[in-house]
Structure 1
Amino acid sequence: MVIFSWTFVALLLGSSSWAEEEAFAQSEDTTRELSVGELLERANRERVPDFDEPALIGGDIAVKGDRNADPCTTTGCLWLKYSDGKAYIPYYIANHYTDRERSIIERGLQSFSTVSCIHFRPYQTGDHEWISIESRNGCYSYVGRQGGGQTVSLDRSGCLYHSTVQHELLHALGFNHEQTRSDRDNHIRVHWDNIMDGMDYNFYIIDTLNQGTPYDYNSVMQYERYAFSKNNRPTMEPIPNPNVAFGQATQMSQNDIARLNRLYNCCEC
């Protein structure tokens, strides 16, 4: 009877443990379905930066000085290409990530080499410019090549998804958000009255690197309908059809890939 009792208890504990793991897995699966904009907003909502971290605009774009200046259109920001036509960009991944977390980051890095001439490679002694991927406070990146080691923050608490990795790397390669494009007003109506106080600048139009591609509601760089809303009402609405779905990307779109290839003059043969 004692043996039976202990066996029964063990089964109960095992069943409980399995149920908890299953519930966690279901929660994770639901989270993965969120758009990149929703993931970024959630991860950065309560962000309290350390003294050595940059200010952010647009939710996740790190800036050093003038928040309205885009270095990619004022001084140039592209990573250098080699004689074989490819851009080999060194990266360093901080050692505080687990193996599983590191694999998510590496998958995002590798996804670029399959669709473009951008090849991320591990940092080597002597590299003068590289991307340092670290778990800082929130998800963020500078726009374009900054020189030296530049931080791409992928916080372990909410930034480790394929879409967020691609999103931040596209910032590092020179791209801003889709909703700040110079032709935005032809495709998106901004409801300024619904935007959080002091957050208007996140919707200011800038001279972005569109590379002749059409406005893309499905871009991984497009935020969702309620981004920075103060009253649960839409801050953005597609025009002329307000019912068009947008801001729901979970990975790079074909337009994202096309403009990346055009910006870096990748061979499309």
Structure 2
Amino acid sequence: MWKMKSKQYHLSGDNQLTMPLACVSVLLLLAACQAQPLSEPHTGEEQLLEDEDTVDISTRILSSNNQSDTFLLEGDLRNAMKCWYNSCLWPKSSDGLVYIPYIVNSEFNSYETRVISSALSSFHGPTCIRFVPRQTQNDYISVENQSGCFSALGRQGGRQVLSLNRGGCVYAGIVEHEFNHALGFQHEQTRSDRDQYVRINWANMDPTMAYNFYKSDTNNLNTPYDYGSIMHYGRTAFSNNGRETITPLSSSPVDIGQRQALSSWDIKRINMLYSC
């Protein structure tokens, strides 16, 4: 059998440390494997999960869109024309469902793609909307990693860009918000009858941003104003001093700017607009 001789390593003073060289190597290797950094950076997935419920939709969208080079109405709309004679609605199939083709750009990683897919599936149960991977359809939504979170209003024809910037837009609530624009829905606080339900505090915003709060000639589908809509911006949207730009006039406390999911009225309106 082979025998390994020991070498002596002298410390200062009278102490001596005797250890086989092979053991020294093994111990150093174990120490390197077991060593942990004092703080580990978040992975993208952990950060998304941690941040999901900390910021309202409008704050996140507007923060992401601050550096956008695209002209946007109301913060995240590429157009805000009224849909005449339902011209911007997606067509209904003979089986009563509305199939909307989409593609997701390859820049998104597998987790981000799952977030998008999961958010789109939330439309499938309670409505007749079905977002499906594009095959050869001419009209489709192209989900891209552009500068900000934005969408066109309704079906535009051809390739239709819907941006979800990877740095701040890939959250379930934002995905639902932007795709609801693509279905043809505008922001709740720009409804034609909004002045009965919210007060717009013009003094708390930059005058150059005031156009984002102009009322629109909306099709309200004879439904009540919905403070809980995923299409409603938060209290400080476009604020230049941290104070409220949107104040609910409800007699009881209400939250606006929720970021969790489509509200019950959001779902009912989709079903009404598309005759589900």
| TM class, shorter-length | 0.7 to 0.9
In 1, the alpha carbon distance for the partners of 2:47 and 2:93 equals 44
In 2, the alpha carbon distance for the partners of 1:134 and 1:23 equals 21
- Give the match for residue 31 of structure 1: 51
SS of 2:78's partner is: strand
Against the structure 1 CA distance between its residues 108 and 26, is the aligned structure 2 distance closer, same or farther, given a 3 Å change threshold? closer
C-alpha displacement of 1:29? 3.5
Aligned counterparts, 1:12-91, within 5 A: 12=35, 15-16=36-37, 19-21=39-41, 27-33=47-53, 34-47=55-68, 49=69, 54-63=70-79, 70-73=81-84, 76-91=87-102
In 1, the alpha carbon distance for the partners of 2:104 and 2:216 equals 31
Q: Which runs of 5+ in 1 are unaligned?
A: 64-68
In 2, the alpha carbon distance for the partners of 1:199 and 1:74 equals 31
SS of 2:207's partner is: coil
Against the structure 1 CA distance between its residues 28 and 82, is the aligned structure 2 distance closer, same or farther, given a 3 Å change threshold? closer
Against the structure 1 CA distance between its residues 230 and 242, is the aligned structure 2 distance closer, same or farther, given a 3 Å change threshold? farther
In 1, the alpha carbon distance for the partners of 2:229 and 2:42 equals 32
Percent identical residues: 41
Read off the aligned partner of 1:221 and give its amino acid letter.
M
- Give the match for residue 127 of structure 2: 116
- Give the match for residue 208 of structure 2: 198
SS of 1:56's partner is: coil
Q: Deviations over 1:69-114 (max 9, x none)?
A: 5232477311111111111111111112111111111112222111
Q: Which has the higher contact order (CA 8 A, sep 6+)?
A: 1
SS of 1:132's partner is: strand
SS of 1:153's partner is: strand
In 2, the alpha carbon distance for the partners of 1:240 and 1:110 equals 32
SS of 1:55's partner is: coil
Against the structure 1 CA distance between its residues 189 and 265, is the aligned structure 2 distance closer, same or farther, given a 3 Å change threshold? same
Looking at CA atoms only, which structure, 1 or 2, has the larger radius of gyration? 2
In 2, the alpha carbon distance for the partners of 1:23 and 1:89 equals 32
Q: Is the 8 A contact 1:73 1:207 kept in 2?
A: no
Q: State the TM-score, normalized to the length of structure 1.
A: 0.86
Q: Which runs of 5+ in 2 are unaligned?
A: 1-22
Whether 1:210 and 2:220 are equivalent positions in the alignment is yes
Read off the aligned partner of 1:40 and give its amino acid letter.
I
Whether 1:219 and 2:256 are equivalent positions in the alignment is no
Q: Which moved more, 1:20-29 or 1:238-247?
A: 20-29
C-alpha displacement of 1:22? 6.0
Bigger proportion of residues as helix: 1
Against the structure 1 CA distance between its residues 254 and 240, is the aligned structure 2 distance closer, same or farther, given a 3 Å change threshold? closer
C-alpha displacement of 1:8? 3.0
Q: Runs in 1 of length 4+ with deviation above 4 angstroms?
A: 21-27
Q: 1:102 is matched with which residue: 113, 121, 139?
A: 113
C-alpha displacement of 1:240? 4.0
Whether 1:151 and 2:171 are equivalent positions in the alignment is no
Against the structure 1 CA distance between its residues 100 and 29, is the aligned structure 2 distance closer, same or farther, given a 3 Å change threshold? closer
Q: Is the 8 A contact 1:117 1:261 kept in 2?
A: yes
C-alpha displacement of 1:181? 0.6
- Aligned residues: CA RMSD: 2.1
Read off the aligned partner of 1:37 and give its amino acid letter.
S
Q: Is the 8 A contact 2:152 2:161 kept in 1?
A: yes
| Matched residue count | 252
In 1, the alpha carbon distance for the partners of 2:169 and 2:155 equals 21
SS of 1:116's partner is: coil
- Give the match for residue 14 of structure 2: none
In 1, the alpha carbon distance for the partners of 2:229 and 2:159 equals 27
Q: Is the 8 A contact 2:82 2:217 kept in 1?
A: no
